[in-house]
Amino acid sequence: MADYDVDNMLKNIFDIKDLNTWKPSEKIPLVVKEIDALKNDLKTFLGNSNYDMEVILKESHELSLESKSVVDDMEQCKQEIEQETMAEILKSIENHDKISKELQSVNFALNIVYDVVQCGKYVKEFDDGREAQSFTRAVEAVYDLLQHIDMPSDGFKQLDLYNNTRHTAQLILDSLLQDLYGEWDRLVYKNIVTSNRKTTITITLGLDDSLIVVDILNALEKSKKLDEKVSEFSQFLLKDVLQPIINNDSIVFAETDELMTITISHKPDFRPAYDAVIANLRLLFHYLSNKLNFEFNREKSLMKMIGKQISVEFREVLVKDCLIHTIPNNINELQSYGVITSEIEDFQHFLAIVKFFPNENFSILQYVNNIDVLFADKSSQYFLESARQIMLKDLSVTMSIGVESIPDENAGTSSAPEESVEEALKILDKTIPKSLFYFPRCMISRTAQELLDLVYVMMEQAVQCSDVVCKKLYNTTRLVFELYDAVVPYHHEQFLQTIPQYVALFHNNCMYLAHNLQTFGDKWLILLEGRELDYPISFVDLVQKLRDLGYQHLAAHMQQQRKQILDNIRSSDLNCMVVKDILGDNAEAAVRQCLRQLQLLKNVWVGILPNNVFTKLMATLVNMFVDELIHRVCTVEDISMEMATQLTDMYTIVVQKAPQLFQTPSEVENHVKSWIKLQELIFVLGGSLKDIEAHWQDGTGPLAVHFRTEELRSLIKALFQNTQFRANLLAKIK
Q: What is the chain's mean pLDDT, rounded? A: 80
Q: 497-539, pLDDT tens digit by residue?
A: 899 999 999 999 999 999 999 888 888 888 887 777 778 888 8
Q: 404-421, pLDDT tens digit by residue?
A: 766 655 444 444 445 665
Provide DSSP, 613-653: HHHHHHHHHHHHHHHHHHHHHHT-S---HHHHHHHHHHHHH
Q: Please, are residues 661 and 594 in contact by the beta-carbon 8 Å criterion?
A: no
What pLDDT score does 450 carry?
A: 94
What pLDDT score does 657 carry?
A: 93
pLDDT, mean of residues 399-408: 75
Answer with the residue of higher pLDDT: 113 or 328. Answer: 328
Residue 124 has pLDDT above 80, yes or no: no
Q: Please, are residues 174 and 138 in contact by the beta-carbon 8 Å criterion?
A: no
The length of the chain is: 734
CA distance 135 to 139: 6
Q: 555-573, pLDDT tens digit by residue?
A: 999 999 999 999 999 888 8
What pLDDT score does 63 carry?
A: 81
Q: Report the run of H or E that residue 320 belongs to, with start and end.
A: helix 302-321
Residue 440 has pLDDT above 90, yes or no: no
Q: 227-284, pLDDT tens digit by residue?
A: 888 888 889 999 998 989 988 888 888 888 888 898 988 888 888 888 888 899 999 8
Q: Report the run of H or E that residue 249 belongs to, with start and end.
A: strand 249-254
Does the pTM surpass 0.75? The reply is no
pLDDT, mean of residues 628-646: 88
pLDDT, mean of residues 569-580: 82
What pLDDT score does 662 carry?
A: 93
SS3 call for 408 = coil
Share of the chain above pLDDT 90, in %: 23
Class of 571-732 in CATH = mainly alpha
Pick from 175, 126, 168: nearest CA to 149: 168
The dihedrals phi and psi of 88, each to the nearest 5 degrees, come to -65, -40
What pLDDT score does 604 carry?
A: 93
pLDDT, mean of residues 475-502: 92
What pLDDT score does 292 carry?
A: 84
pLDDT, mean of residues 486-495: 92
What pLDDT score does 183 carry?
A: 81
Q: Which of 212-221, 451-460, 523-532, 635-644 has the highest mean pLDDT?
A: 451-460
Domain ranges for the chain: 6-50, 56-180, 195-363, 376-404+437-554, 571-732
CA distance 142 to 133: 15
- Residue 697 contacts by C-beta under 8 Å, 6 or more apart in sequence? 704
Q: How many CB atoms lie within 10 A of CB 28?
A: 10
SS3 call for 109 = helix
